[in-house]
Copies of this chain bind each other. A is one copy, B any other.
């Protein structure tokens, strides 16, 4: 959490963090500013000091609303810099940043950089800045990012936000279940009262609206993938697809607080009316692994153990896994889980890429999402909940919701 930053920066021998970009849909910036309508900002955090937010004068009120110490870019006179650089925006922006950093006495040392920007801008800007400020060492710590380590454990305020969006998400999930249960079946297809088929597109429109009613953004869309489409983990479901009774539907929903605050991430697999034997059997294997892993999660354990354990549990039940064949496209084909927070995928990793720094620490929030995929058989199944590692070591599912496979139709 934020209070770890001082120690983390010391361990990584960093003198400062520099975060670029907007305070909207930009996790590294929002971590410090909260969601705010501040664009083209820069945040400087010198080790052991309070962060300073540089802003554009048109956004002075929004910048002030962050509660951070702020400084306007205006005195550095971008216009003049632009002219002096022969109308070269890249050079002018690098000069602007140089003036801002110099103003806060950050002219040497090791500085790690973060923030969502277009690559053409960030790469050019930082390359130019390196030339302008040779005593400054610009560090990309992507392989082992201090900021992601800090964010990988959440403080109480963050957990409160995540509980809130978890509750909102499961409310929407309940609305979807109720909507589906209220329809009828006709020749094995879900139809509405008028006998018209319900499509994946219909369901997604409702989801979009019900999320919006709660003020949630849904920038990455929603996976609502029936049958074979659910057999490919990231297939999102074709709008025209129909819903066949008995067939498993993978429903993975990952909204974010308006403007890009905290994400939630939640998956259920549903069969409408009844489950086919194949779907039921697949579900039972996934559910068995889900239950086993949930029981075995322990604070301060290495995340990689659980990826390994998940593969073993699935293999015991006769499924191919990425452990024996990293390229497999059937069976268990992905990572067990990932951290969740201002990004939908963040630290710690509970996948094949987990390292010794990926631990289930007090304050971690991770998804647990075992799944099985057999696209050729028209089958996929995944169950996903977000788990909070409480400071007392207990594991808490942040937004509990029934895991049932079958949604019985009301009529």
Contact = CB atoms under 8 A, between A and B. Distances in A.
Interface in A193-222: 205, 208-209, 211-213, 215, 217-221
Contacts of A124: 140-143
Interface string A97-125: 00000000000000011111111111111
Nearest to A74: B327
Interface string A327-357: 1010001100000000000000000110100
A207 to B, nearest CB: 10
Given A37-B234, A74-B327, 17 more contacts: A21-B119, A24-B220, A25-B25, A37-B220, A61-B232, A62-B234, A75-B327, A77-B326, A89-B143, A116-B119, A117-B119, A117-B122, A122-B122, A205-B215, A217-B217, A217-B218, A219-B260
A24 B116 CA distance: 14
A158 interface: no
11 contacts: A25-B25, A37-B236, A87-B353, A88-B143, A112-B120, A114-B120, A120-B141, A121-B140, A122-B122, A127-B140, A208-B212
Interface residues of A, number: 80
A80 B116 CA distance: 28
A308 interface: no
A126 interface: yes
A79 interface: yes
A259 interface: yes
B61 A142 contact: no
Contact of A123 (B24, B113, B212, B329): B113
Contact of A119 (B126, B215, B229, B234): B126
Chain copies in the assembled complex: 2
A90 interface: yes
B219 A62 contact: no
A106 to B, nearest CB: 16
A39 interface: yes
A141 B119 CA distance: 10
A57 interface: yes
Interface of A: 20-21, 24-25, 27-28, 37, 39, 56-62, 74-75, 77, 79-80, 82, 87-91, 112-127, 138, 140-145, 147, 205, 208-209, 211-213, 215, 217-221, 223, 229, 232-236, 258-260, 326-327, 329, 333-334, 352-353, 355
A79 B25 contact: no
B126 A79 contact: no
Contacts of A118: 27-28, 114-116, 142
